[in-house]
Structure 1
Amino acid sequence: MASTPHPGSPTPLTATPSAAERRASAARTSDVPNGWILFAAVTLFMSGGLTILFGLAALLNDKVVQVGGTGGPVVWDITAWGWVLLIGGIVMSLTGIALALQMTVARWLAVGFVLLHAILMFAVASEFPVFAVLVIALDVVVLFQLTAQWGRTR
């Protein structure tokens, strides 16, 4: 039996929210990405940051990559590769920020960049195997989060 509240008494609690309460709740939750997409955005930003550092290392120390120690022959000059990684890392970091802001185009860009980045890391895997494997694994995790949670955000 429902009773009418007395003047000055608190509003009674109801079991079902009103339409206005549902709209307000939906507005609050639609502004925040779900946990997996936020994880992918942060991981993409972090992977881009590591790529920036790797590109800077390649630019600043392009004669360090050698076979057989310091007296061995230079495998290749990685200055151009350093520029590619530096620019790619900046773009990846910006895409991670856009993904966290739930920009629609950021998902498509993120999937493309993550795929390209993982493939390109195989080119340096012989010189920096541990770093390359870690970054490729990070890219696979980000790719999974972007594709597995595709329909759950706007």
Structure 2
Amino acid sequence: MAHTAPTPGTAGSAGQGDLNPWAASGIIFAGVLLLVDGVLGVIKGISGIASDDVYAHVRNYTFMFDVTSWGWIHLVLGILLAVVGWGILKGAEWARAAGVVLAAINVIVNFTWLPYQPIWAVISIAIDVFVIWALCTERSKAVI
């Protein structure tokens, strides 16, 4: 049983074109997180649109919108995040770049949303920061 060194591009080698399993798993998880964050955004949006008294009313806040406006913002952004999350899970090329952009936008939106729902906003920000990291770390194509 002679032991041979793996050739570039085969299992066990660390060539540039190889898929990093940790980063690939991170990309899959990022797709799932975007999908879940999108669904949560839709729920935030629907609850904000349906009733103005669901969230706290904040006075003297720099980013002053009424809760219905915030509801529409979260609803539209949630739908886009869910679609992009699904695209990432399907391995679409456009979805990775769109995922980074939309996650960054979602970080900003949730930062401005902090006074209304601080815990939910911080969780969404943490999810989006991980998604941005995962999508920017690995450059391989195939996910699933």
Give the TM-score category using the shorter length.
0.7 to 0.9
Partners of 2:93 and 2:32 in 1: how far apart? 17
Hey, what does 1:139 align to over in structure 2? Answer: 128
> Contact 1:111–1:146 at 8 Å: present in 2 too?
yes
Hey, what does 1:110 align to over in structure 2? Answer: 99
Partners of 1:67 and 1:56 in 2: how far apart? 17
Residue 147 of structure 1 aligns with an amino acid whose one-letter code is C
* Runs (4+) off by over 3 Å: 63-68
Residue 37 of structure 1 aligns with an amino acid whose one-letter code is I
Q: CA RMSD in A?
A: 2.7
Partners of 2:56 and 2:26 in 1: how far apart? 40
Say if 1:131 and 1:103 are closer, same or farther in 2 by CA, change over 3 A.
Answer: same
Partners of 1:50 and 1:121 in 2: how far apart? 12
**TM-score, scaled relative to structure 2:** 0.74
Which entry has the higher C-alpha Rg, 1 or 2? 1
Partners of 1:111 and 1:97 in 2: how far apart? 14
Gaps of 5+ in 1: 1-14, 17-21, 23-29
Matched, 1:94 2:83: yes
Q: 2:73 aligns with which of 84, 87, 90?
A: 84
Hey, what does 1:35 align to over in structure 2? Answer: 25
Hey, what does 1:148 align to over in structure 2? Answer: 137
State the SS of the aligned residue for 2:53. Answer: coil
Partners of 2:120 and 2:57 in 1: how far apart? 17
Gaps of 5+ in 2: 5-9, 11-18
Hey, what does 1:19 align to over in structure 2? Answer: none
Residue 98 of structure 1 aligns with an amino acid whose one-letter code is G
Residue 36 of structure 1 aligns with an amino acid whose one-letter code is G
Q: What whole-Å deviation, never above 9, does each CA across 1:65-97 have from its counterpart, x for those lacking one?
A: 4459xxx9xx85211221111111011101001
Instruction: Number of aligned residue pairs: give it.
Output: 123
Say if 1:93 and 1:66 are closer, same or farther in 2 by CA, change over 3 A.
Answer: closer
TM superposition shift of 1:39: 0.8
> Contact 1:43–1:138 at 8 Å: present in 2 too?
yes
Residue 31 of structure 2 aligns with an amino acid whose one-letter code is A
Partners of 2:94 and 2:73 in 1: how far apart? 22
> Contact 1:118–1:136 at 8 Å: present in 2 too?
yes
Say if 1:108 and 1:132 are closer, same or farther in 2 by CA, change over 3 A.
Answer: same
